[in-house]
Structure 1
Amino acid sequence: MTAPATSNFYRLHPRVQQWIASKKWPSLREIQELAIPPILAGDKDVIITAATAQGKTEAAFLPVFSQLVDQPAKGIQVIGLGPLKALINDQHRRLSAIGDCLDVPVCPWHGDIGSGPKQRLLKQPAGVLLITPESLEALFVLRGQELNRLFASLSYIVIDEMHSFISIERGRQLQSLMQRVEQVVGRPVPRIGLSATLGDMSLAAEFLRPGQQERVQLVQSFAKGDELKLQLRGYRSSPTPDPDEEEDETTPPPDALDIAQHLFQSLRGEKNLIFINSRRQVERYADILRNLSAEYRVPNEFMPHHGSLSKELRAEAEEALKRDHPVNVICTMTLEMGIDVGAVQSIAQIGPPSSVASTRQRLGRSGRRAGDPAIMRVYVSVPQLDSYTSPEQALYPDLVQAIAIINLLLEGWYEPPIAGRLHISTLIQQLLSSIAQQGGIRADQAWHDFCEAGPFQEMEQGLFIKLLRCLGERDLIQQSQDGLLLLGLKGERLVNHYTFYTAFSTTEEYRISTPENVLGTLPTSMPIAEEMVLLFAGRRWQVQSVDSEKQVVMVVPADGEGQAPRFGGSSGFVHDRVRQTMREIYRSTDMPVYLDDTAKTLLKEARTQFRDCGLDQEYIVGEDEQVLLFPWRGSLVMNTLQMLLLDSGLKASQEGLAIKVKGVEPDELMPYFQSLVNLGPANPLRLADVVRTKRSEKYDWVLTDELLNHNYVARFFDPQGTWETVSEICSGG
């Protein structure tokens, strides 16, 4: 490699320079050049953000390794935190290639790693530790007294795929763990966050170092990838099913067969990723495509990949992508993040993308080789219009949402992190973990560490005191005569259970096995009976036996028609900007150039339906003694507005883009909305009393109604945005 004299390459340690030269890189990438000075300085936290495949991992670790070689020390010097075991395994492979040349050990640590490497690290701590938040939590609980020895020489904390942690329980757990690591070593440790999708950099900086954004330096590359080839293909599904008739789950609908046929013809012979938003649909399409391969008498090149498959089956698909053979992996978000699966020719997305940020992540998997275009095909089905089709579904919302997300992607906009959530459930976990680690903690110290100076700064002191009382009443904690908070009997049982280390709820699952291998897991909530034929792991299996006590389902290969399991899961969060962009698309006459002929026809039909319903002028559509309200807002406003309507005694339910209100006429709603405008933004805590199902996080069962209301409001309500929306509806804006 020939670098100009001004290149930051020469600031790296000579041995790191030699390793780079051995790889015959033509030069450092822009993001790698920019990241070297602030990371070597070590006096600030750093966020590294760039497009996918721009070398963010190397941007962080080349200067980190330089520092480790230049200043060797006993003890773990770097903690690398990642969201997925598979991602940590992949990072271990990549970073070990550098570490081995520099005599810097790199150790992966998670639930699938054997005890040997872990014991060696505990005896001789050194180098880089790659770990999940859950495994780091376990270290705090089980080896709290050893942490000072392990982390005494800690120089950096690196967070990979940082966007995947922001605004969720695991993210708040991660923030707390980083804070607790610094308390163990008695000093701030530079934090480095890596991400390709961050919509608001100030909120990202707040996540990395809560309350101290001035400590965070942004390192951002605006280098763009090569050419983008994009197509959205439209399909008509079967007629809307009669609600009184049972759905046939064993016969694929015609639109699914048509989509699979196009995938089969377009992707065979190459290496591609096919993203679908649900595990159930992954199994359905894997089955259809396997059958097509058999029908055409060609090798099956289509493999499933999702979180319910065994680690061996997931690894098999990942390794197939790395080999120089054609393969198409049908996956959920499990392959969205930075696991290195080599270069793929294209990305396919079945169904509307869930968010702009995830679409950018997925698209970044394609076009990684210099000169290759990034290619993305999006497949969207809309219902055939008949007497059962609702006005909302006649707007083809899946199609228009897909167009809105693609347009926002092309504009360079991404969803910002969600701010203001309390995460009381995670605070409970962290408090219990800290008590277990230290053998006890004073209440005032806990308030300072977790809330006043820690990641739970949205928590008011009065609310924190009420939480401690609540935990005491539930026997999760108790207070000694000298004021120390200790674990209660129930608290000890919680902390000693293997599920404690996760901040999120986990479901009970069956293990699906053949006599030879474990295939994966299914939720126990799914009805499973002997002789049933299941679609799983891309094949058909007949259930031989169900052992409910051991939670094991034994299966054998089958040929009959089968059904894809229902895995559960929740609908995704939709941002206001996506819904507002959808409205602009309905109102516009512009036709996106990336639509195929069918999609263009469907968009014209959706716009005609939009105008025929009067939605180009109004927000409310009357329909058979009920109205449909279209606020054109995202999840928070929709949820708040629905609760306002229910609080007034109206029968309101969410129906996709709309809120359905039964038993009223359109002109009856407007005076009610005007009264809401006159009253100003609603009191969210009083409104939360309307909600009967407020438990959504792991330890919500512990909370009093008052604490539940505070937690729910911070997570699911937007009173100000809702008031502004109702004002807009009343003004006809």
Structure 2
Amino acid sequence: MSVSQAFLQLDPRIQHYLWAEGWGALREVQERAIPVILPGDQDVIVAASTASGKTEAAFLPALTHLLQQPARGLIVYISPLKALINDQFERLGRLCENLDVPVWPWHGDVTATSKRKFLTKPHGVLLITPESLEATLCNRGTSVAGLFTRSTFFVVDELHAFIGSERGKQLQSLMHRIEVAIDRRVARVGLSATLGDMTLAARFLRSDGKAAIVDTPSAGGQLLIKVKGYEEPPKQDGSDGDGSEDHTDRATREVARHMFGVLRGSNNLIFPNSRQEVERYTHLLNELCEREMLPREFWPHHGNLSKEIRYETEAALKQRERPATAVCTSTLELGIDIGAVKSVAQIGTPPSVASLRQRLGRSGRREGEPAILRGYVIEDAIDDKASLQTRLRLGTVQTAATISLLLEQWFEPPTVGGAHYSTLVQQLLSAIAQYGGLRAGQAYALLCAHSGPFAEVSKDGFAELLRALGRQEILVQDHSGLLLHGRIGDKIVNHYSFYAAFSSDEEFRIVSGGKTLGTLPVSQMLMPGQRILFGGRTWEVQEIDDTLKTIHVLPAKAGAPPLFNGGGGRVHTRVRQRMREIYLQSSSLGYLDQEAQRFVDQGRATFRDLRMQDCLLLNQGSQAILLTWLGDAANEAIACLVMMRGINAAIGQLGVEIQKGGKQLEEIEDLLADIAIDDAPVVGEVLRNARNLERQKWDRLLSPTLLRETYATSNLDLDEAISWLRAFLGSDNCL
């Protein structure tokens, strides 16, 4: 092994282990990270591509630091997945055995005997999920300081998976609460393959944002990308028209046949965009295996499957005797050790540029092999009834925009803001359990004040939260002023589901005339009068039942269908702006096949015919489309501002869809000008009439004011929205 300065800084026993394992040299990320992490006196973010050696970049110096301490210390490794913990236990086991450092996996599947052994001697490496760490703090309050008093590092794996989420806010709070309990700062090390803005990522890791950054660019290996297009012919007349689908579309079968031809005989990952599509493509591909009298090669993997089925898929990928391909959701984006795969297939538009990069990082990991991305886009045929969405070929153009930005090494910046009152409810209840009760001032100081994890929450907001929880018997206050669990709060905290900061994904039932049409994941607020696209038809929302998670609809009257369909991820402004640039171009895109390029050319022709390059307000019959080319956070803010004026509006894939309601386009333009001129409203006020805002686990316990605030701060970008509207005032609009 070639010797370097970083190698010489490692403990001799670790050096000997690396020699024995046949390491030729440290990798670049390890060379750079070791001297930064080794002192243990600062926070560090290590960002590098998948399979670049990030785990060793953190643990080699962290273990060296641990071995240099006079008393046995503790490294706390926090993972978003139990499967990752199991992988790391195997990965670290051989190294740590040579160092006489115990490794303790801790999650729901680990035996009580193993956990008791750690509690007796809390040193070495603890591999734990946020939920198990929450349970430890909640249930072992008097011993928390003793358990973690020798902590030397918090190592957070897959950092990007936590940022901006409920689990991320929970994780921030747990690390902060441990530091408060032991009365000192513990160095935090974040590992990630996908981080768009290091400054924001550092602010997530700790609020002061002072983390050292080790950002190692990808090695620049060969990347092969091809996107194939498929056109779905018009639906035959005679369908039942209720939105149900009991047949497999022709284009879907063609995609399955092509994937079968190019993927069989090797290990791959296929990413459709929904669990339903995972099941459908797995069935179609294994049907082809049976027809060819081949062993099963295609395995499903998504969050609704049992852990036994998911483990079966992971085991099939790990073994090398037979080829195996997983058809999966984002569950296999993260760093579960499934070995190298030959290629990644993406069906439909990727959720984000960062997500696509994470998925692609699974391919091309063997020396000399390229990373391969196969994209598949399906578009409906254009006829007299084709929607604007179909004529613009929005799915294909958004896919092209995402790949274009991926090739430029741009990724969405992490979202670190938001009030997160739902997670604050959980952390407040957990902290009260940990300390056996807290006074209101103590609770605020612990969780919100100064550099606390909920620093965006004001004293007034915290007081309103306490009043709301008191009214619902979640909390009570004794005669001395101590906050304790109320009758309902006690039941919540003592239920096994309490420790997770997030709830299972919930979908709204779509009901028309008493008949259930299906379910739809809804990621934005809705109001009666708005229109949604479901099952190929346009429906008008009549009523939203938040309690029963039901949306009552009626068939919409004639008019252009909405571009919103309820699914997909939140789109960033940069992606939409790149889509507009593609429409304005005339050159071919080298990563598209002939059919996909034809789709883009058709979309460009529609774009030109409608003069969309000069148009900001597009007349579409009963609605006007405000062509903002902004991301969903700004578009939803504009829609809210419009609805404050009594006009129905919703976000779409091009901008904001405004129901004219008998108004002329000039009147809509005047209304937008009035919004731009007026002072910006208080963030929560824009949602005063909105419904179905509950997105996070404990939102149902919040007062209406706090619910609006937490939704707005997490989902709306008022600043970008108002800035765009003010620029709109000075433009020539297409009427």
Matches within 5 A, 1:502-521: 502-506=500-504
Which deviates more, 659-668 or 380-389?
659-668
Distance 1:436 1:265, change over 3 A: same
Residue 542 (structure 1) aligns with: none
What TM-score, normalized by structure 2, do the two folds share? 0.88
Q: How does 1:519-558 map to 2 (within 5 A)?
A: none
Partner deviation per Cα, 1:314-344 (whole Å, 9 max, x = no partner): 1121122122131111111111011111111
260, 263, 274: which is aligned to 1:267? Answer: 263
Distance 1:415 1:507 in 2: 23
The corresponding residue for 2:528 is: none
Greater shift, 50-59 or 649-658, is seen at 649-658
Match of 2:102 in 1: 105
Q: How does 1:10-25 map to 2 (within 5 A)?
A: 10-25=8-23
2:167 corresponds to: 170
Give me the CA root mean square deviation.
2.1
1:679-702 Cα offsets, whole Å, 9 max, x none, are 243443322102122222211222
Superposed CA deviations along residues 26-76 of structure 1, whole A, max 9, x for unmatched, are 1101110111112111110111111221110010001112222333645x6
Tell me which residue corresponds to 1:58.
56
Cross-structure match for 1:303: 299
Are the aligned partners of 1:683 and 1:719 in contact in 2 as well (CA < 8 Å)?
no
Is 1:673 the counterpart of 2:672 in the alignment?
yes
List gaps (5 residues or longer) in structure 1.
510-524, 528-567
Report the count of equivalent residues: 673
CA distance in 1, matches of 2:120, 2:126: 14
Inter-CA distance 622–222: structure 2 relative to 1 (3 Å threshold): same
Q: What is the distance in 2 between the residues matched to 1:392 and 1:732? A: 25
1:535 alignment counterpart: none
Q: Specify the alignment match of 1:8 in structure 2.
A: 6
In the alignment, what sits opposite 2:399? 402
Partner SS for 1:8: helix
Shift of residue 295, structure 1, vs aligned partner: 1.5
For residues 185 and 348 of structure 1, what CA distance do their matches in structure 2 show? Answer: 47
Q: Does 1:365 align with 2:338?
A: no
Q: CA deviation at 1:496?
A: 0.6
Within 5 Å, give how 1:128-527 maps onto structure 2.
128-210=125-207, 212-214=208-210, 216-239=211-234, 245-247=241-243, 249-324=245-320, 325-452=322-449, 453-506=451-504
Q: CA deviation at 1:124?
A: 2.8
1:277-326 per-position Cα deviation (integer Å, ceiling 9, x unaligned): 21110000000001111112222211111111121221121122122131
> What amino acid is aligned across from residue 182 of structure 1 in structure 2?
E
Q: AA paired with 1:406?
A: I
Deviation at 1:652, TM superposition (A): 2.3
Contact kept in structure 1, 2:85 and 2:128, CA below 8 Å: yes
**Larger deviation, residues 237-246 vs 291-300:** 237-246
Deviations along 1:430-470, whole A, 9 cap, x unmatched?
01100001101122221121111311111112211222222
SS in 1 for 2:618: strand
- Over the matched positions of the two proteins, sequence identity in percent amounts to 44
The answer to whether the Cα contact below 8 Å between 1:627 and 1:665 also exists between their aligned partners in 2 is no
The amino acid across from 2:219 in the alignment is: K
Is the 8 Å Cα contact of residues 50 and 56 (structure 1) preserved in structure 2? Answer: yes
Cα distance in 2 for partners of 1:654, 1:46 equals: 38
* Kept in 2: contact 1:240–1:384 (CA 8 A): no
**C-alpha contact (below 8 Å) 1:631/1:729 kept by paired residues:** no
Give the match for residue 127 of structure 1: 124
What letter is aligned with 2:424?
Answer: L
Q: Which amino acid aligns with 2:341?
A: V
**Secondary structure, aligned partner of 1:213:** coil
> Partner letter of residue 492 of structure 1?
D
Alignment of 1:81-120 (within 5 A): 81-120=78-117
Distance in 2 of aligned mates of 1:322 and 1:696 = 36
Cα distance change, pair 279–117 in 1 and its aligned pair in 2 (3 A): same
CA contact (8 A) 1:92 1:106 kept: yes
Structure 1 residue 655: Cα displacement: 3.8
Deviation of the 1:240 alpha carbon: 5.9
Tell me how far apart the structure 1 counterparts of residues 608 and 76 of structure 2 sit (CA, whole Å): 56
Structure 1 residues 73 and 225: alpha-carbon distance in aligned structure 2, compared to 1, 3 A threshold: farther
Q: Which amino acid aligns with 1:8?
A: A
Q: Which residue of 2 aligns with 1:726?
A: 725
SS in structure 2 of the partner of residue 631 of structure 1: coil
Could you say what secondary structure the match of 1:303 adopts? Answer: strand
How far the C-alpha of 1:492 sits from its partner, in A, is: 0.9
Give the letter aligned to residue 504 of structure 2: T
Alignment of 1:614-693 (within 5 A): 614-662=611-659, 663=661, 664-693=663-692
Question: TM-score normalised to the size of structure 1?
Answer: 0.88
Aligned pairs for 1:687-706 (under 5 A) are 687-706=686-705
Q: 2:38 is paired with a residue of what secondary structure?
A: helix
Deviation at 1:501, TM superposition (A): 0.5
Give 1:666's aligned amino acid: L
Deviation at 1:486, TM superposition (A): 1.5
**Distance in 1 of aligned mates of 2:720 and 2:243:** 39
SS at match of 1:627: strand
Summarize deviations over 1:524-576 as a string: whole Å, max 9, x none. x979xxxxxxxxxxxxxxxxxxxxxxxxxxxxxxxxxxxxxxxx996311111
- The alpha carbon displacement at 1:345 in A equals 0.9
Query: How big is the shift at 1:239?
Result: 2.5
The code of the aligned residue for 1:486 comes to: L
